[in-house]
Structure 1
Amino acid sequence: MSKSQRLIAAERTTFSPYSSLSPESISRIALKCRKDEVADAHILIKQLKAELATVPDWDGDTQDDIWRAIEQYRAILAKVRE
């Protein structure tokens, strides 16, 4: 597990893994991100997009889960750049 994934997991200790991160959690994660975590997030987004391309059209739940993860990483990256 990468550091960025560990940062997210740490924020989810009191939440369901399927719940969205709060804006406060996203900000806390972004504050802890450095160059390695930012690069890792970009790589994970590319991997998730590649995985999305392999999911059958009928599997909307899986597609939604993947998009949710992509948007989570995008939100973190947006806060890192602010």
Structure 2
Amino acid sequence: MKKIIVVICNLFCAYSFIACSSKVQTNDIPSDKKYFLPSETSNKEVKIDPQILEDFNLALKDFLIIKKKRKMNKIFIKQA
């Protein structure tokens, strides 16, 4: 009985594999004459406003200075 179940499962798996792997493409491949696909790409350079860049740099410096001061305070507190 167990062998029959194993054989049936194997046949089902084999049938599923064969049925799923034999699919045919139903849509035709479009012809090159009907559709134009450009071969060039457009390269756009991303530019950042200098004022925004300067503001970011100043904010980053302030953040790092505050972080450094906190670290120094922790070291000082541990030593004291």
What is the TM-score of this pair, normalised by structure 2? Answer: 0.29
| Higher RCO, Cα 8 Å, sep 6+ | 1
What is the TM-score of this pair, normalised by structure 1? Answer: 0.28
Please say which structure displays the higher CA radius of gyration: 2
